Structure 1
Amino acid sequence: MGCHDLKKKAVNTIVNNRGDDKTMNRLLSFLKEDIQVENVTKIRKNVYFLTISTGEYILKGFKSKRQLKLQDDFTQSLKEAGFSHSYSFIPLFKEPLFVNQLYFGCLEYIKPSAVPFHYKDEKDRKNGLETIIKFHYATKQLVEKFEERLPSFNLLIKWKERYSQFLLNIQHLKYFIQEDFLYELVRWGDWAINELSKEEIIFPNEQKVILHGDVAHHNFIRDINKELYLIDFDLISVGFPFTDLLQYANRILPFIKWSAFELMAFDQLKKYMKEKAFLYALIFPTDIYREWNRMLKEKTYYDPAKIRHLLQLTIGQFYLRQRFINEIKNMLK
C-alpha cells in the first residue's frame, strides 16, 4: 500500500506528534526480534511505513484478529475475482504482531506516482469512477462468500441517524453558522429523507455487491506506472452499487462546480440520474452533516484550520449547492 508523498507526510506526522510514539516504540522492539529493521515511520493512527532489507511495507493495526483475518481474506478473494488494482497482505510474520491491544498485519506497499490522485483533476475523476465500477464487477462474485461476515448497508437508516444528530447539534452550531443557513440545511435534509422514505424499492434491478464505503480521494493511489489502485477496505459492507456511486458523486460535485449537467456527462451515472431516488439522495447534504457532527464529537472546534474548512464547505459553497438542488428539483418534475 502507499499514499501520496508518503515518506514526506510520515515525517511531518512524526514531527507533529513527538509524544505519541508509544505504539511505534513497542512495535519496533517486537519487529527487531525477528527481522532487521531499517526504518519504521508513523503515517497516521495505527498505520506505519516499514523498511527492512527485503523491501518496503505497510504495517496496519486492527482491533481484533477476526478483523485482520477478514481483511486478508477479502483482499485475496478480490484478486482471485479479477480485481488486481489493490494491495495484498504479506505473510512477513508467522502470527500477527499484537501491540497495544492491536493486531498488526503487513501490507504490500504501492509506490505512488509523483503526482497524487485528486478529484480536482478531470482524468482522475473519470478513472476513479471506472475503478469503482470494476471493483463492483469483481465483488458481486464475492457477496455469497462474505455476506455472513459483513454488515448490510442501509442508506436511509444511516442518513436518518446523521440527520437526527445534526438536529441535536443545532444549538452548538449556531455559534458557527447563521440561522438562515442552518434552516436551509435542515430543510434540504428533511425533504430528501421524506421523499426517499416514500420509495419502497430503490433500484430493484441492481445486483448486490460488496461496497467499498469510503471513496474519498485518498483511498485511490496512482502508482509509479500511472496505474490506479483502490485501497483501505475498513468500511466494506453488502449493498447495492448505487450507494458507492452516490458517495462518489457527492465527493466530486465540489470540483465540478455543483453542476448536474457535468454529473450526467459520466456514462456510468447517466442511468442513475434518471432515477428519482438517486436524485433525492443527491439533495441530502450528507457531507455537511457528517463533518459538523464529527467536529463536535471530536471537539476540534478550537482548530482554526478545521473551522475554516467547514465554513468553506458549508457557506463558501452554499449558493452553488443551492443552485444544484434547484436543478435537481427541476429534473424531478
Structure 2
Amino acid sequence: MNKDFFEERDGMKRRLLLLLKENFDLPFIRINPIKNMVWKVSTQNQDWILKGFSSLETFKRQVSFTEQLKKSGFTQIYSFHPKPFVQENKVFGLIQFIEAKKGQKVSYSHESDIRDVCFLLRKYHHATTNLSNVVKEQIPVFEQINKWKKRLIDYRYTLPLYSQNPLRSHLNYFAELGEWALDKLQNQAAFFKEEPNCIIHGDVASHNFIRDKNGQLWLIDFDLIALAPPHIDYLQLSNRVLPHLGWDVERLFSFQTLQPFKTKEAFLTALVYPTDIFREWLHFTRSHTLEQRRRWSTMEALLLKQFKERIKFSKEIMKKVKSI
C-alpha cells in the first residue's frame, strides 16, 4: 500500500471498510467520515466510531483508563472494542457510538447546559481522584504554566510577520494580557499542583459532551487526559463559556461549581490569559496561504467580537487580583 492509502480521496472509504472486515468479526456495511481520522462505521444493526490514535500505547492507555473509570462507578463514558488494528504505522480503534438526542446539542450559550457540564465534571473528577496509582502512573502530568509560556513565545514570534495587519494593535494587546498573567502566575505555581490530583479531561469544549436520546449527558474524547487538580478543567471551562456570558464576571461565578474560585487569586489571574486567542491565532498562522484567506473572516471576528467587553472584563479581574 502506498503512503496515500489513508488520505481522503476516491476509493478510500472502500479500502478502509475492507480493512475493518479483515480485522474485526463484525459485518460492516457503511463508513462515513466525521472529521480527520474519525469515522462513523455501521453494521446492519449497530454503529461504531472508528478513530485513529497517535500510538498503540495511547490507545491502550485510553482503553485501560475508561475500563477502570467504569468499574469505579462513573459510567457516562463510552466503551472501547479491546482490539485495535495497525496499518502502515497508523493505529485505529473502535469506540461505542453514542447517539445524540436530536435538537439537543450541548451548547454553552445555554446556562442549563453549563450547569449540567459542571455537575458531570464534578462526578468525573471525584471518580478519577479515587482511581488506583497503577492507573494514574500511566497518565502524563499536566504542566499549565510551561504550556502557556511556550504558547506566548510562539504567539509573540509570529507578530513581526503581521506588522502591517490592520488588527496589529489588538494582537499586541492580547500579548500584553498574556505577559501580565504569566508574570503574576510565576509566584502562584503551587495552585496548578495542588492535591488531591485527579485525572483531568483536558478538553472541555462543548462538543465533547453528548446528550443522548434519554437526556443523559456523556463525556467523550480522552486524548488530553492528564494528572492535575480539578480546577484546571474548570479554568478551561470558564474560558470556553465566558464569550457566551458576555464576559460577565458575576454571571460566570453564579455557577455553584465555580463559586469557590471567585476569590482565588491564581484562578482569577489565569482567566486573563487569552488562551483562546493564542490557540486560534497559532492555528491560523500555521495554515497555508489559501487556508489563511479562507479563515481570515473567522479569525477577525474572534479578535474583534466582544473586544470592549473583554477589555472591561480583564480590567475588572486585574482590579480584583490587586485587592486580594
Alignment-mate amino acid for residue 315 of structure 2? N
Q: Would the aligned equivalents of 1:26 and 1:99 in 2 still touch at CA under 8 Å? A: no
**1:174 CA displacement:** 3.4
**1:167 CA displacement:** 0.4
Alpha carbons of 1:289 and 1:210: their partners in 2 closer, same or farther (altered >3 Å)?
A: same
C-alpha distance after superposition, 1:201-227 (max 9, x if no partner): 216764100011111111011111111
Alpha carbons of 1:180 and 1:61: their partners in 2 closer, same or farther (altered >3 Å)?
A: closer
Distance, in Å, in 1 between the alignment partners of 2:69 and 2:272 is 33
1:262 to 248, 251, 258: 251
**1:172 CA displacement:** 2.6
**1:143 CA displacement:** 5.8
1:225 to 214, 236, 261: 214
C-alpha distance after superposition, 1:84-106 (max 9, x if no partner): 11100134xxx422234222211
**1:298 CA displacement:** 3.0
Task: Establish whether residue 47 from structure 1 lines up as the match of residue 38 from structure 2.
Answer: yes
**1:78 CA displacement:** 1.1
Q: Give percent identity, aligned residues only.
A: 34
C-alpha distance after superposition, 1:56-101 (max 9, x if no partner): 111112132221111111111111122111100134xxx4222342
- Length, aligned pairs only: 313
The Cα RMSD (Å) is: 2.0
2:71 to 61, 75, 80: 80
Task: Establish whether residue 126 from structure 1 lines up as the match of residue 126 from structure 2.
Answer: no
Alpha carbons of 1:189 and 1:71: their partners in 2 closer, same or farther (altered >3 Å)?
A: same
Partner of 1:58 in structure 2? 49
Alpha carbons of 1:18 and 1:65: their partners in 2 closer, same or farther (altered >3 Å)?
A: closer
SS in 2 for 1:59: strand
Alignment-mate amino acid for residue 183 of structure 2? N
Distance, in Å, in 2 between the alignment partners of 1:103 and 1:166 is 32
Distance, in Å, in 2 between the alignment partners of 1:63 and 1:204 is 27
**1:146 CA displacement:** 2.6
Q: Would the aligned equivalents of 2:201 and 2:226 in 1 still touch at CA under 8 Å? A: yes
Distance, in Å, in 2 between the alignment partners of 1:216 and 1:175 is 33
**1:110 CA displacement:** 0.6
Higher relative contact order (CA 8 A, sep 6+): 1
With structure 2 as the length reference, what TM-score do the two structures score?
0.90
Partner of 1:108 in structure 2? 96
Partner of 2:9 in structure 1? 19
**5+ residue gaps, structure 2:** 1-6
Report matched runs for 1:154-193 at 5 Å: 154-193=143-182
Tell which deviates more after alignment, 306-315 or 224-233.
Answer: 306-315
Partner of 2:60 in structure 1? 69
**1:114 CA displacement:** 0.7
Task: Establish whether residue 247 from structure 1 lines up as the match of residue 236 from structure 2.
Answer: yes
**5+ residue gaps, structure 1:** 1-16
With structure 1 as the length reference, what TM-score do the two structures score?
0.88
